[in-house]
Amino acid sequence: MGKLSYDSTLGVDFDDRVLAHLQLVIGAKLRRSESFFFSWRDDPAIGDGRSSLWMHPTIPLVFKYAGGRPPSINRAWIEALMETANAPSGLVIVPEPTAGSTTPSAEGER
């Protein structure tokens, strides 16, 4: 499990593969100075609720990976995540599409 640290005050665990895809999408948005919401379902161990962050280019962000090798990147998943990030509700983790599948809906969970 990797960790997304936001503003040195919040740390959230994500699978390294999910985190790598989030880094690409979040990085693309912040490079363009675009602010947006990022929402996910919390792990049942911490209450099984939902969390949201307001992502802004001036707020420090760290992606810390548990594994030593970078995971392979699924271009279709990047596109699906970017589609949610560009929606008014913001970035939501959607299931990774398999080869030949259509883009998943924004209802997917972590």
Asked, for residue 109, whether it belongs to a domain, the answer is no
Asked, for residue 100, whether it belongs to a domain, the answer is no
Asked, for residue 82, whether it belongs to a domain, the answer is yes
Q: What is the mean pLDDT of residues 46-70?
A: 91
Domain that holds residue 30: 2-92
pLDDT at 83 over 90: yes
pLDDT digits (tens, 9 = 90+) for 43-57: 888 777 899 999 999
Q: Report the SS3 class of residue 48.
A: coil
pLDDT at 107 over 80: no
Count how many domains the chain has. Answer: 1
Asked, for residue 78, whether it belongs to a domain, the answer is yes
Q: For the packed helices 16-31 and 75-85, what is the interaxial angle rounded to 10 degrees?
A: 50
Q: Report the SS3 class of residue 54.
A: strand
Asked, for residue 106, whether it belongs to a domain, the answer is no
Summary count for the chain: helices (H), strands (E): 2, 6
Mean of the per-residue pLDDT values of the chain: 88
**Model-level pTM?**
0.84
Asked, for residue 71, whether it belongs to a domain, the answer is yes
